[in-house]
Structure 1
């Protein structure tokens, strides 16, 4: 079983870093894609973070494992491999690695996840991080204190997310995006999950977007459909979260 350092060494070569061209310690946002893999919308969010003075780190969980999009769609999206509890190992490893960079302010980090990536973040926030949990040998080796916010875009909270009602152990400010016509969850179920997070003391803002699952991803794969106006609003709310939790140096 990998340690956090080993997992980060595996992931880091395929991490895309976006940010101002300087070496100043800046707040950082770490982005985790959905079960379909890295798609064209995450670089747009990363560019928006850069414009706000943040560093953005897009973590590809598939390329380091040698997985294609087709493989992931068939195996991850169907729940055969890499459940949210295992993806949480990537979340913690990325937090561990990014926090050690001299150009990052480790006290001001936001974790941002879309669908399956949001599931992984929620597992990282709620799980008992005893040795061997979450797919890594030492999940408790990285503190969560520096996580000042989470962005959860239509996170997977369906029946396969067995721990979705488990209280969070670390409760940062959270923006939770719910898709009104999400085929993977009802609005009522999603609101119930996010109310649980709110009950742990987190400042949770929920936005019910009048779109499908993955409405901000520029593609159409029924029942999912791209909605450019909602995508623009999601990006605006994403940047608003960053500005709410940390003041970034000027670009």
Structure 2
């Protein structure tokens, strides 16, 4: 598990060692998309999104938040999905850590980063912005740097993000300085719903952030994961394809910022 007071670069190296990197051809440096999985752990469909990033000229890292903590997929389903452990606030430390790790990678343009999170991964990204100056105390990363987060991240994609209590965005916002936000919300999502994500996104808009939302009226939670084992999830390859295109669009916009 993550011990309190660990350095961002040290924890980032451990997380990166468990994660999977995808890169375009050539030496780089490339802008980098960090992809954060849901509460069930790293699953294959996220690698499809990583390939979308590569085709758009970005490197991508599918971040594994479980293995460095000695957690299995079953642990995730039993304890993370139920909110017993590793809530979004604590897991947001992985974002700060990976930003620090990218500084040591010659293929990475560490000044140009895109964050993409699915469900619990979206919650983690959102809390990373909401905690502000309390980042080090809240995450356990001794040198977590909220200014670096805001300066280097050019865009954020939140796909059916968990935004109910104890998620912080609806109550705290991110302040008026933040990245352009892209979001995907399902109208038939029985896991995180659509009202809580909308409330959080509305808060960001009121604070002055640019927010774009792709609303899939017929989408359930995990509509893009063919292997989702939640009986409430219905795989929709058509919506999966549309969301890949939306991700590519978001990366294109972020690359110009």
On whether the aligned pair clears a TM of 0.5, the verdict is: yes
Q: Distance in 1 between matches of 2:195 and 2:83?
A: 23
Shift of 1:184: 2.9
- Provide the residue aligned with 2:158 in structure 1: 152
Q: Distance in 1 between matches of 2:226 and 2:235?
A: 5
Q: What per-residue deviation string (whole Å, max 9, x for no partner) do you get for residues 114-141 of structure 1?
A: 0000000001111133342223222227
- Provide the residue aligned with 2:65 in structure 1: 61
- Provide the residue aligned with 2:35 in structure 1: 31
Aligned with residue 167 of structure 2, among 123, 142, 161: 161
* Contact in 2 for aligned 1:171/1:200 (Cα 8 Å): no
- 1:232 corresponds to 2:254: no
Aligned with residue 210 of structure 2, among 189, 203, 207: 203
Q: TM-score by structure 1 length? A: 0.93
Q: What per-residue deviation string (whole Å, max 9, x for no partner) do you get for residues 125-159 of structure 1?
A: 11133342223222227612010000000011123
- 1:49 corresponds to 2:53: yes
Aligned residues between the structures: 248
Q: TM-score by structure 2 length? A: 0.90
SS class of match (1:70): helix
Q: What per-residue deviation string (whole Å, max 9, x for no partner) do you get for residues 59-95 of structure 1?
A: 1011112211111100110001001000100111112
- 1:115 corresponds to 2:124: no
SS class of match (1:106): strand
* Contact in 2 for aligned 1:15/1:60 (Cα 8 Å): yes
SS class of match (2:222): coil
SS class of match (1:7): helix
- 1:137 corresponds to 2:142: yes
* Contact in 1 for aligned 2:39/2:120 (Cα 8 Å): yes
SS class of match (1:224): coil
Unaligned runs of 5+ in 1: none
Quickly say closer, same or farther: Cα 1:56–1:103, change in 2 above 3 A: same
Could you say what the CA RMSD is over the residues aligned between the two structures, in angstroms?
A: 1.8
Quickly say closer, same or farther: Cα 1:183–1:36, change in 2 above 3 A: same
Unaligned runs of 5+ in 2: none
What is the correspondence of 1:57-96 to structure 2 with a 5 Å cutoff? Answer: 57-96=61-100
Q: Distance in 2 between matches of 1:207 and 1:150?
A: 13
- Provide the residue aligned with 1:222 in structure 2: 231
